[in-house]
Amino acid sequence: MKWGTFFCLALLLLYLRLYLLSRLELSGVRPDLFIIMLVYLAAHADTMSAFIANWFLGMLQDIFSGGPGVFFTLFFCLMSLVVSRFQAGFFQENYWTRLVFVFLCAFQCNFLYGLWITYLYPECYLQALSLKVLLGTLYTTALAPICFYGFGWLALIAPPKV
Amino acid sequence: MSGVQSYNGRRRTMYVRAGHKQLIMKRYQKLLCGWMILASLLFPLLGQQFNLLRLSFLSPLRSVSAYVNATTTDQTTELRLLRGKLALAYSQILDLRKQVDALSGFRRKFAQHPKVIPAKIILRRESSNFRQMVLINRGSRDGIATGFAVAFGDALVGVIKQAGEWVSWVSLITDPAVKLKTLLVSAQDGTCYAKGIVVGTGDAKSCWLKFISCNHRVRAGDLLLTTEFGDIGPQGLVIGEVLPSVELNYGMFHGAKIRPLVDLDQLNVVLVVVK
């Protein structure tokens, strides 16, 4: 049941990101709802469940991106382990530290992907790329409170223990 | 006394067993994590097969978009149903009209070109913010292959980047992965006066024109056309026009910023030009 809810929610977030949020773009940038879900899962589920769930999220994002490789899968797995390690004593109950983690994760994801794109295609317009990294990070962080409220309200998102 | 001892013994055994089980579970969890990361790392090694596998996951989108177009969601009253159907028919007419415009625009200029395949955009943006790619509802089963030009009317929109069986990714001309050989045509007298390379910037509204010899002066409003020496489609598709005021200078070459002639965000229908 809980895994089922998680899969439905993941697909819903994917649909929101790919179709609906395209209408709320800021300079061609949409918020990354999966990053918010990553932090929420890592904070509320046990390490293993969060890892599997985030692997799935990363894979989903990689399938729907036209870029090469499995960047998002690896990033989501790694960040899931990092956030899970910090979550117990550091920010389990603290709302603001969770937001800080969303900001850090979103920034790292955008920055590393931007770096990778620049490495693959050196002709990139760096000014536009930097703007996208910054705007993407801030937009994702700005949406995080609403998403956390929504996830908390559902209260079913955390997958069961493996 | 012996009963208490045996009770304690049983409890200790139980704890030891539970601890042992936890240790085994942890070891299995670590193994599973390792395998998942290793599997993720191995996927890209499959190369083209990996891309085809990813695209096969996206194939259902083709039928979903057809289903969404064919039905209406609201069936509470007949009036609503009819209104929905009317709106749907109207949007289909608009799509078809755009398709006809695109085809006739293309045919006016390239009457002798053997084959074009009309396609519909089913995913306007890919999941990251950094690439400019769209997914179309045609694949290798329709005769599409990697490297084909994608046009709207007589304007170049992009290039097929990955062709799956049912769907394909198109790199728009603004995508950083796109590099096109081009001819510069004067807006005043229509003569070709220089060659260059168009490079996508990742910005949705502009590209760079690079490697123009310093002997030639680029003017704002001049058009860029595809060349016969390029790797894609027919010669003469319009790529874009030179924007004023932004100019690059590097050594023997210089360049300029250009903008695509078509608004790439508003496209619904495109033509795939078969080589």
From CA A105, how far away is CA A99, in angstroms rounded? 10
Judged by DSSP in three states, A69 sits in coil
- Report residue B119 as tokens: 């396609």
Q: Are B255 and B247 in contact (CB under 8 A)?
A: yes
Q: What is the mean pLDDT of residues A146-152?
A: 84
From CA A20, how far away is CA B231, in angstroms rounded? 36
Q: What percent of chain B has pLDDT over 70?
A: 77
Helix (H) or strand (E) holding A18: none
- Report residue B221 as tokens: 């409003």
Predicted local confidence at residue A137, as pLDDT: 92
From CA A62, how far away is CA B264, in angstroms rounded? 23
pLDDT at A66 over 90: no
* Among the partner residues B123, B177, B206, nearest to A18 by beta-carbon distance: B123
Judged by DSSP in three states, A32 sits in coil
Predicted local confidence at residue B160, as pLDDT: 92
Q: How far is B127 from chain A (nearest CA, A)?
A: 5
CB contact under 8 A, B177 and A121: yes
Q: Look at strands B149-152 and B223-226 and give their pairing.
A: unpaired
From B144, B134, B220, select the one nearest B174 (Cα to Cα): B134
pLDDT at A145 over 70: yes
From CA B141, how far away is CA B73, in angstroms rounded? 30
From CA B219, how far away is CA B242, in angstroms rounded? 7
Q: pLDDT for B65-113, tens place per residue?
A: 666 555 545 555 677 777 777 777 777 777 777 767 776 776 666 666 6
CB contact under 8 A, A18 and B201: no
Q: Are B185 and B176 in contact (CB under 8 A)?
A: no
* Among the partner residues A65, A69, A123, nearest to B176 by beta-carbon distance: A123
Smallest CA–CA distance from A25 into chain B, residue: B129
CB contact under 8 A, B36 and A55: yes
Residues from chain B contacting residue A17 (CB–CB below 8 Å):
127
Smallest CA–CA distance from B134 into chain A, residue: A66
Look up the ipTM and state it. Answer: 0.80
Predicted local confidence at residue A1, as pLDDT: 46
Q: What percent of chain B has pLDDT over 90?
A: 4
Residue that is written with structure tokens 């992907």 in the block: A113
Predicted local confidence at residue A97, as pLDDT: 80
From CA A10, how far away is CA B107, in angstroms rounded? 44
From CA B172, how far away is CA B198, in angstroms rounded? 12
From CA A9, how far away is CA B103, in angstroms rounded? 41
Q: Which amino acid is residue B29, in one-letter code?
A: Q
Judged by DSSP in three states, B163 sits in strand
CB contact under 8 A, B131 and A67: yes
CB contact under 8 A, B36 and A51: yes
How many alpha carbons fall within 13 Å on the CB side of residue A87? 23
Predicted local confidence at residue A161, as pLDDT: 47
Predicted local confidence at residue A65, as pLDDT: 84
pLDDT at A59 over 70: yes
CB contact under 8 A, A132 and B123: no
Q: Which residues of A37-57 are buried (b: 16+ CB within 10 A; e: fewer)?
A: bbbbbbbbbebbbbbbbbbbb
- Residue B191 has φ and ψ, to the nearest 5°, of -95, 145
Residues from chain B contacting residue A14 (CB–CB below 8 Å):
127
- Report residue A101 as tokens: 């983690």
CB contact under 8 A, B177 and A120: yes
Confidence class for position A162, pLDDT limits 50, 70, 90: very low
pLDDT at A72 over 70: yes
pLDDT at B265 over 60: yes
Judged by DSSP in three states, A125 sits in coil
CB contact under 8 A, A17 and B43: no
* Among the partner residues B37, B57, B128, nearest to A63 by beta-carbon distance: B57
Predicted local confidence at residue B77, as pLDDT: 66
Cβ contacts of residue A159 below 8 Å, gap of 6+? A2, A3, A6, A41, A45, A49, A50, A52, A53
Q: How far is B148 from chain A (nearest CA, A)?
A: 16
Q: What is the mean pLDDT of residues B53-76?
A: 64
pLDDT at B23 over 70: yes
CB contact under 8 A, A125 and B171: no
From CA B120, how far away is CA B209, in angstroms rounded? 29
Q: Which residues pair with B168 in a beta bridge?
A: B136, B163
Confidence class for position A90, pLDDT limits 50, 70, 90: low
Mutation target vs A (from B25, B36, B40; most A CBs, 10 A cutoff): B40
B interface with A, Cβ–Cβ below 8 Å: 29, 32-33, 36-37, 40-41, 43-44, 54, 57-58, 123-131, 133, 135, 161-162, 169, 171, 176-177, 179, 199-204, 206, 208, 210
Confidence class for position A7, pLDDT limits 50, 70, 90: confident
Cβ contacts of residue B236 below 8 Å, gap of 6+? B109, B110, B154, B225, B226
Neighbours of A27 (CB within 10 A): 14
Q: pLDDT for A32-53, tens place per residue?
A: 899 999 988 888 888 888 898 9
From CA A3, how far away is CA A158, in angstroms rounded? 8
Mutation target vs B (from A48, A61, A123; most B CBs, 10 A cutoff): A123
Mutation target vs B (from A121, A134, A138; most B CBs, 10 A cutoff): A121
Could you tell me which residue, A151 or B145, shows the higher pLDDT? B145
Quote the radius of gyration of chain B (alpha carbons, Å): 28
